[in-house]
Amino acid sequence: AAPDNGGLLDGLDPDQRAAAGSGGGPLLIIAGPGTGKTRTLTHRLAHLVSERDVPPEQCLAITFTRRAAEEMAERLAALVPDHAPRLTIATFHSLGVRILREQHDRAGLSADFGIADHARQLAVLAEVTGDEAGARRALAELSRTRRTGTPDELAERYTKALRQQDLVDFDDLVALPVALLEADPALVTAYRERFRWIAVDEYQDVDEQQYRLLRLLAPPDGNLTAIGDPDQAIYRFRGADVGFFLRFRQDFASARTVQLTRNYRSNPHILGTALKAIEPGTLVPGRELRPMGEHGDALVGVHHAADERAEGAFVARTIDQLLGGASFHSLDSGRVVGDGSQGLDFSDFAVLYRTDRQARAVVEALTQAGLPFQKRSHDRLAERPGVEEILAELAYAGGTVLDRVRRAADVVLGRGAEEAEVHTAVDLLTPLALECGDDLARFRTELSLGVEVDTWDPRADRVSLLTLHAAKGLEFPVVFVVGCEDGLLPLRWPGTEPAEEELAEERRLLFVGITRAQRHLYLSHAASRAGRPAAVSRFFADLGDGVQRIGDVVPKARPRETQLRLL
Ligand code: ATP
Ligand code: MG
């Protein structure tokens, strides 16, 4: 019999251990934030290959972003160094690329087919329709119909034109492997034999095509582990559907369901606030989630700022004071909302917001205060301003990928493009360029799959500025969620009211934001933004009494200079 409490399961609690150490068959782990889902998944893989003699080549882990895949690969390299290099850790899209490269001739492609970026897609569509001006809207529409329904005539012509140019687009990366597999049972068998053990993290955000791929790769009684939290589903707008939790139970009828109830991430007030925020819209009614009490008991601070500049200044000042070891007291209750944690550095802070635009005021405030930061969204890298132009120039230069990127940027700048955007683009591309050395083709592939947050560096000693979408799966000792206003969180167009499902998704975004915090959480809103009056988020009405209003923070104890001298 296989050991069920071997060394690799030691760092897990009993529920996690039961999940990570369980044998074959379909397994569904539904659990809240910070309950160690990702940790359990990682340890499960390690346990399988080193304690159950599963060949690492048979294991496939699917994560949501390349950055998450890298992090998992690193953890596995530490846990099971001999086996880790032979595991496959992918995103749905990188897995799709891999399958397509292997099966390229079935798809009418060469082995080194390209992945069309947005500009190329528009050009192809304009060729097909002869309507350049309407291409952008047509593409958005096309993308929607292809994702949800059966492709129409235009979709077919567009796809044919892409293939003729040896191209696929981003949506093809999952849809095309699905089509190939659906057309050929022998191919299905081959991949099922290859990946006998599959685990998917962030399962709540799978969409129809991704789910179909999973069903093809895993037989109904297969060793498929799906891990997720319905209340953290934040990609409905891209076609994700929490209904796939129910489908899993139907399609993998022998699935066992495991729940994890201990939260190791957040202090009790933060967790309590999170639960109150999600309660009115929860998809997991009656769920149990207990704080393990490892992160102090500072109250959640709510700050009301006059405008977005004042809000940015509040963030910068609070970071500065926490770095100096200050304790803060709520003006109303005198209770602690900042407990003078020791040993914080810049990388322990994150500022989260609903829309990338909101970063500007924060960037200005941090810059003014001399606080270093890294800013990332969940936008696709290839579609970022500046990147597209640089990409277009890469073909004309020689040398390493980084040399090429730099020279291409010079060319773009020489044409008088906007400077800041080009420099930011180069900064974002640099880590990827370094990783790909001389391999331009690989660089192009990685780039077309990547999102900004893939280049986020967890080790950089900088404050992280992230959209709520980009912050998924991450954690920080100190978190600010800024712009908690009606119109931003929930996001809505002025004068319109969001549909019920949209509102529910906005609530889940707030839940994701709150649950990134370990020791300190600050929620802020401004009375006026971009010169217009703004109202506090309607979600605040649900937060309850673990929250304390804080005006200007009141530093107590050591000022920063004293602390520096002590060091
Ligand atoms: P999310 O829903 O946000 O993705 P998660 O459920 O994946 O969260 P993890 O990121 O795996 O949670 O774990 C949250 C934190 O709790 C991590 O710092 C992790 O190391 C820690 N943790 C998890 N399980 C344990 C445990 N048994 N003992 C101590 N710490 C743990
Ligand atoms: Mg996780």
Q: What are the tens digits of pLDDT across the range 61-119? A: 999 999 999 999 999 999 999 999 999 999 999 999 999 999 999 999 999 999 998 88
- Regarding the beta carbon of 282 and ligand 1, being less than 6 Å apart is answered no
Distance (Å, whole) CA 114 – CA 450: 15
31 with 20: CB under 8 angstroms? no
Q: What value does the mean pLDDT of the chain take?
A: 90
Q: Give the angle subtended at the CA of 364 by the CAs of 362 and 365, to the nearest 5°.
A: 65
Neighbours of ion ligand 2 (CB under 5 A): 37-38, 473
Q: What are the tens digits of pLDDT across the range 464-509? A: 999 999 999 999 999 999 999 999 999 998 888 889 999 999 999 9
Q: In testing the pocket of ligand 1, which one of 29, 38, 275 has its CB within 8 Å of the most ligand atoms?
A: 38
Residue nearest to atom 13 of ligand 1 (CA): 36
Nearest ligand to residue 35 Cα: 1
Q: In testing the pocket of ligand 1, which one of 265, 292, 352, 515 has its CB within 8 Å of the most ligand atoms?
A: 265
- Other CB atoms within 10 Å distance of the CB of residue 284: 17
Summary count for the chain: helices (H), strands (E) = 20, 20
- Regarding the beta carbon of 16 and ligand 1, being less than 6 Å apart is answered yes
Nearest to 474, CA basis, from 348, 362, 308? 348
Start-to-end CA distance of the chain, whole Å, equals: 54
413 with 135: CB under 8 angstroms? no
Compare 555 and 444 and report the one with higher pLDDT.
444
Per-residue pLDDT, 240: 77
Q: Name the 3-class secondary structure at 531.
A: coil
For residue 4, pLDDT over 70 is answered with no
- Regarding the beta carbon of 266 and ligand 1, being less than 6 Å apart is answered no
For residue 547, pLDDT over 60 is answered with yes
Per-residue pLDDT, 435: 87
Ligand 1, atom nearest to 263 Cα: 16
Annotated binding site: 31-38
- What beta strand segments (E) does 201-319 contain? 223-228, 256-260, 262-263, 290-291, 300-307
Q: Length of the chain, please? A: 567
Q: Which residue has the tokens 């251990």?
A: 17
Q: What are the tens digits of pLDDT across the range 311-370? A: 999 999 999 888 887 666 555 555 666 665 668 999 999 999 999 999 999 999 999 999
Q: What's the number of CA atoms in the CB half-sphere (13 Å) around residue 417?
A: 19
Nearest to 479, CA basis, from 440, 510, 434? 510
Choose the weakest-confidence range: 134-148, 221-235, 352-366.
134-148
Distance (Å, whole) CA 110 – CA 105: 6
Residue nearest to atom 31 of ligand 1 (CA): 264
DSSP letter at 62 equals: E
Nearest ligand to residue 37 Cα: 1
Q: What are the tens digits of pLDDT across the range 445-461? A: 889 889 999 999 999 99
Distance (Å, whole) CA 534 – CA 551: 18
- Regarding the beta carbon of 34 and ligand 1, being less than 6 Å apart is answered yes
Q: 7-96+178-260 with 268-377+460-566: one CATH topology? A: yes
Structure tokens belonging to residue 454: 């893939």
- Regarding the beta carbon of 229 and ligand 1, being less than 6 Å apart is answered yes
Identify the band that residue 553 occupies on the pLDDT scale cut at 50, 70 and 90: low
- Regarding the beta carbon of 473 and ligand 1, being less than 6 Å apart is answered yes
Percent of the chain residues past pLDDT 90, beyond the cut: 69
- Other CB atoms within 10 Å distance of the CB of residue 268: 17
244 with 203: CB under 8 angstroms? yes
- Regarding the beta carbon of 17 and ligand 1, being less than 6 Å apart is answered no
Ligand 1: centre distance to CA 33 (Å): 8
Per-residue pLDDT, 115: 93
Cis preceding linkage at 431, omega within 30? no
DSSP letter at 267 equals: -
266 with 511: CB under 8 angstroms? no
142 with 125: CB under 8 angstroms? yes
- Regarding the beta carbon of 38 and ligand 1, being less than 6 Å apart is answered yes
- Regarding the beta carbon of 471 and ligand 1, being less than 6 Å apart is answered no
Q: Please state which CATH number belongs to domain 7-96+178-260.
A: 3.40.50.300
Ligand 1, atom nearest to 512 Cα: 3
* CATH superfamily, domain at 268-377+460-566: P-loop containing nucleotide triphosphate hydrolases (3.40.50.300)
Ligand 2: centre distance to CA 473 (Å): 5
- Regarding the beta carbon of 33 and ligand 1, being less than 6 Å apart is answered yes
Distance (Å, whole) CA 258 – CA 188: 28
Distance (Å, whole) CA 500 – CA 316: 35
350 with 466: CB under 8 angstroms? yes
Per-residue pLDDT, 335: 60
Per-residue pLDDT, 342: 64
Listed by start position, the domains of the chain span 7-96+178-260, 114-165, 268-377+460-566, 381-449
Residue nearest to atom 16 of ligand 1 (CA): 264
Q: What are the tens digits of pLDDT across the range 426-444? A: 989 998 899 888 888 889 8
Ligand 2: centre distance to CA 63 (Å): 9
Q: What are the tens digits of pLDDT across the range 45-65? A: 999 999 999 999 999 999 999
Task: Give φ, ψ of 134 to 5 degrees.
Answer: -90, 5
- Regarding the beta carbon of 448 and ligand 1, being less than 6 Å apart is answered no
Ligand 2: centre distance to CA 34 (Å): 7
178 with 202: CB under 8 angstroms? no
Compare 436 and 2 and report the one with higher pLDDT.
436
Nearest ligand to residue 40 Cα: 1
